[in-house]
Amino acid sequence: MDPSKPLTSIKGVGPGRAEQFARLGLFSLSDLLEFMPRGYLDYSKERLIADIDDGETAAVRIGFIGPVRVFRTKSGITVSTVSVGDASGNMTVTWFNQPYISRIVPKEPGGYVVGTMDRRSGVRFLGASFSKTLPGVVPVYPLVKGLNQGTVRKAVRAALDACADSIEETMPASRREKYGLIGLKDAVCAVHFPESAEMLEKARRRLAFEDAAVLTLVLETLRGERKAERGIAFRTSGLLGEFLSYLPFEPTEAQYAVMNELALDMASPKPMSRLIQGDVGSGKTVLALYAMFIAAKNGYQSVLMAPTEILAEQHFAQLSRIFGEKAACLTGHMSAREKAAVLEAIANGSVTAVTGTHALIESGVEFSKLGVVITDEQHRFGVRQRAAIGKKAEAPDTVIMSATPIPRTLSLILYGDLDISIVRGMPPGRKPAVTKLVGEHKRIDMYRYIEKLIRDEGVQAYAVCPMIGDNEELEDVRSAEALFDELKKNLSVRVELLHGRLKAKEKEALMERFRRGEIDLLVSTTVIEVGVDVPNACIMVIESAERFGLAQLHQLRGRVGRGEKQSYCFLLTASRSKTALERLKLLTETNDGFLIAEKDLETRGPGELIGMRQHGISEFGAAALAMDLDTLREAREFAVELLASPQEGDEKLIQKARRKYEHSLENVVIN
């Protein structure tokens, strides 16, 4: 069957079901084949109950099984349980709001039960199902409302049965042999339904290799095109000393090094395209100001685009100190009169240094003479948004700033068309946060200590939770709402709650009050992750820290320690998992974001590190499943070699790259 046929071509997918798949961006059989699992459950070997760690998924052979018991909690939740045992001990298999489960629980021993171990409230097995044989390695897919794992697995299996033989190989045998890659058809089949863990690794390597190579082909082509463009040759000589006179501090060696790189780039007649990576608080904004200063001294305008209004206002305060009345800020919440005045000033060139939010990319914003475009926290903007602002001028110099440290090899794959600068170290006076791992039994002592610090030293604190509201299946995880209620009752400090369900204006108002010191302790979800600068915020508490990636924990920790006072980060966890505790321990030992990023890459993969949802990383596809940088490095080398010395059969991969990006090449240009 032709892979381009709609999903309704396979059994079990009618118009209604097809609409549900459409919400995942899946419309054709080929879409379904390229829909990568977000993870796998390894049920290829049976485990003893006594050997399964807290949080592990496993398959247990049923040696004993008791009767099903059903009861209702005070909150109206239906709980079903059954006792299951093997030679090593017993456990209680538990389901929430599934009263029908008794119909599928076996009456006699034999077969297997698969699920997730929870040892925090006795020995419980959650999310369990039964199987007569070992299920093997099972894919786990992203879902939307109306779809469950069984439905998606059946649809993928049907799509493979219908058109696996139509999957066309894209790499010649000689290339595959050189890099030890299996065929594309075998890889697609195995990544969905692997016969073994070994075959899954081979499939992931092949698909990651190909996706990384395809992306590199596109980015290297774009890099060549940009080098051929003619941009602005700015005069940079003698400007550094003048710029430094505006700063109240001496830049670090790393900042000086990047300033030199920026000056060389901007002096060149070719358009600058540079990514500046730096840890949280490393002083990247100063570098942006320097590029904007060079533009202004050459009679050009510059724009610094921020992801939030609060951050834009912070940038505006800094711009005003250097550019005075030549600085401007444009946000979506300005009055019509204020907005019109700023738009006119931008259009007639009376302002030269502009900052703002998404409002800057609207069609009504016209620049008089735009020379430099800078985007802050680049993963918060889509490629199209950055491209839209870049098109408001002829070949402007572009700078992208990221506070997410990414290992160099991965940076080259994701940002192959950009030159990369790294800002290591911290500005003078910044004290690294003292980070402590706190067990559940120390919770009350910790909050009393925080209360004392707030009272005695006048500092402020964040408390971050992994979810907004309570979840019966995660009863040991405190939600932001529950923690807010608890702290408001028990602490004599001013506590407020911030989360993603609030309207934008409400969130902005709360953050503004916190910044002004009207709130002592802000309970929040990860919405506070983006760089708001509150120098008096010196305490960060992270609930259920094991549920966050290391890189994200490091980002959250970076919200404190922005003033001269000592800062603290408390990682709360009730986990008994050795792996989880070892991961968290790393944060207590180092503040080096790049070292932490490397560790996160090893344990969780690139998708977690760079934030797939934030990047809209669909173009990176299966490469986000690759756990080793060697595969990505080899893929990049292969793609560069292919462009330099193409061989017979290479045209298929080049054609795939063109097809995949034909609708977005213009938009990729400053990614």
Which of 116, 120, 112, 160 shows the shortest CA–CA distance to 136? 112
Residues 282-289 have a mean pLDDT of 90
What CA–CA distances, in Å, run from 430 to 404, 433, 454, 457? 19, 9, 20, 18
| 287-291, 329-333, 468-472, 602-606: range with lowest mean pLDDT | 602-606
Which of the residue ranges 13-22, 181-190, 224-233, 325-334 would you say has the lowest mean pLDDT?
224-233
319 to 369, 402, 591: CA distances (angstroms): 18, 19, 29
| Dihedral class, residue 45 (left if φ above 0, else alpha if ψ from -120 to 50, else beta) | beta
**From CA 496, how far away is CA 651, in angstroms rounded?**
59
- In the chain, the domains with their CATH numbers are 35-168 (2.40.50.140), 233-268+283-402 (3.40.50.300), 434-590 (3.40.50.300)
Q: For the ranges 94-103, 305-314, 515-524, which has the lowest average pLDDT? A: 305-314
Query: Which region among 267-271, 381-385, 465-469, 565-569 has the lowest average model confidence (pLDDT)?
Result: 381-385
- Residue 178 CA to chain centroid, in angstroms? 33
pLDDT at 621 over 50: no
Chain-centroid distance, C-alpha 466: 14
Q: How remote is the C-alpha of 346 from its chain's centroid?
A: 34
The CA distances from residue 591 to 8, 281, 569, 587, 595, in Å, are: 52, 11, 11, 7, 8
Q: How many CA atoms lie within 13 A of 146 on its CB side?
A: 10
Nearest-Å Rg of the Cα atoms of the chain is: 27
- Range name among 42-51, 81-90, 139-148, 453-462 with the lowest pLDDT average: 139-148
Contact at 8 Å (CB) between 306 and 382?
Answer: no
Query: Looking at residue 33, what is its pLDDT?
Result: 92
Q: Is 59:112 a contact under the CB 8 Å cutoff?
A: yes
Query: Which conformational region is residue 555 in: left (phi greater than 0), alpha (psi within -120 to 50 degrees), or beta?
Result: alpha
Q: Looking at the DSSP assignment, which residues form a beta bridge with residue 569? A: 435, 540
Question: Per DSSP, which regions of 142-295 are E strands?
Answer: 273-278
Q: Which two tokens stand for residue 384?
A: 């199209």
Give pLDDT tens digits for 166-219.
999 999 999 999 999 999 999 999 999 998 888 988 998 999 899 888 888 887
Tell me the pLDDT tens digit for each residue of 426-450: 776 677 889 999 998 899 999 999 9
CB 476 within 8 A of CB 120: yes
Is the pLDDT confidence value at 382 over 60?
Answer: no
Question: What CA–CA distance (Å, rounded) separates 276 from 293?
Answer: 17
* Per-residue 3-state assignment (H helix, E strand, C coil) for 93-140: EEEECCHHHHHCCCCCCCCEEEEEEECECECEEEEEEEECCCCEEEEE
Q: What is the pLDDT of residue 293?
A: 97
Q: Which tokens in the block code for residue 585?
A: 């321990």
What secondary structure letter does DSSP report for 167?
A: P
What single letter denotes the amino acid at residue 486?
A: E
Binned at pLDDT 50, 70 and 90, residue 618 comes out as very low
Region for residue 513 given its phi and psi (left: phi exceeds 0; alpha: psi -120 to 50; beta: otherwise): alpha
Q: pLDDT at residue 273 above 80? A: yes
Task: Give per-residue pLDDT as tens, 120-142.
Answer: 778 999 989 999 999 988 998 98
pLDDT above 90 as % of the chain? 46
Band (577; pLDDT cuts 50, 70, 90) = confident
pLDDT of 107 > 60? The answer is: yes
Write out the DSSP string of 308-368.
SHHHHHHHHHHHHHHHGGGEEEE-TTS-HHHHHHHHHHHHHTS--EEEESGGGGSTT---S
- Supply the pLDDT for residue 608: 44
The neighbouring-strand residues paired with 364 are none
Predicted local distance difference test score (pLDDT) of residue 297: 96
330 close to 354: Cβ distance less than 8 angstroms: yes
Q: Once rounded to an integer, what is the mean pLDDT over residues 254-275?
A: 93
d(CA 206, CA 253): 41
Q: How far is CA 250 from CA 243, 257, 592, 645, in A?
A: 11, 13, 22, 48
Top-confidence residue, 603 or 206: 206
**CA–CA distance, 192 with 167 (Å, rounded to integer):** 14
Pick from 241, 206, 243, 208: nearest CA to 626: 208
Structure tokens that stand for 260 in this block: 């030199």
Question: What's the confidence (pLDDT) of residue 360?
Answer: 82
pLDDT above 70: percentage of residues in the chain:
87
Tokens of 278: 């730096």
Choice among 501-505, 530-534, 623-627, 652-656 with the minimum mean pLDDT = 623-627
Cα(646)–Cα(657) distance, integer angstroms: 14
| pLDDT average, residue stretch 511-524 | 92
pLDDT at residue 160 greater than cutoff 80? yes
Long-range contacts of range 245-252, CB-CB < 8 Å, 24 or more positions apart? 246/293, 246/321, 246/322, 247/286, 249/427, 249/428, 249/429, 250/428, 251/283, 251/286, 251/427, 252/283, 252/423, 252/425, 252/426, 252/427, 252/428
The pLDDT score that the predictor gives to residue 668 is: 41
- 29 pLDDT band (50/70/90 cuts)? very high
Asked whether 303 and 373 are in contact (CB, 8 A), the reply is yes
pLDDT at 487 over 70: yes
Rounded CA gap, 353 and 475, in Å?
Answer: 50
Q: Which secondary-structure segment (H or E) carries 265?
A: helix 253-267
Residue 495 has pLDDT above 70, yes or no: yes
The string of DSSP letters for 205-217 reads HHHHHHHHHHHHH
Tell me how far apart the alpha carbons of residues 521 and 536 are, in angstroms, rounded to a whole number.
11
- By C-alpha distance, which of 32, 37, 58, 45 is closest to 203? 37
Q: What is the mean pLDDT of residues 467-485?
A: 76
Pairing of strands 327-330, 301-305: unpaired
Q: Do the beta carbons of residue 31 and residue 660 sit within 8 Å?
A: no
Q: Residue 669 — pLDDT band, cuts 50, 70, 90?
A: very low
578: part of which helix (H) or strand (E)? helix 578-589
Does position 639 have pLDDT exceeding 50, yes or no?
A: yes
- Whether residue 51 is predicted with pLDDT greater than 90 in this model: the reply is yes
